[in-house]
A and B are shown apart, each in its own frame.
Chain A
């Protein structure tokens, strides 16, 4: 089965520090997303990426967040200056087409102290 891979699995950072979360998507699956899940809450959409550009951003995805594709295949999610409320599980996901199955990575647990 296709697999989406995320690193690191867990990151602890001090408030105000920058973090970079990484994701290796399934190749030739063109639709790519970042989601987050605060402990005990719903999975929330952050940003989508299609055809090498951001297609949609949520209200959560403010100027502190950025998504890049540094090597043309893998993705990063950068949080420039972390806040306590950024503590959450961050998931990347992708799928091949608009009505196809979405595959999620195992997530990065970000803890901001």
Chain B
């Protein structure tokens, strides 16, 4: 199985800040990576697929980059509604695996 490791596990930031979350795969996955946002009590929401493609309806302040084993999700200017937990997921091969999550908290 491909292991997905996110860092940091949690981060505190203020509205307007730029935030970067990292995801590392245990082996190369080309660009087959997604990012999801999850708010408490809600289902995850797809933000980014294929490492850098923005899902329809997702604000442009979200961006993704990377290939191979190292990937990043960047939020250019944090908005109040962005405080949530973020997960990466590899789509390179079965079994599908997720990272452990990064909790983004208000500073």
Say if A and B assemble together: no
Q: Taking beta carbons and an 8 Å cutoff, which residues of A are in contact with B?
A: none
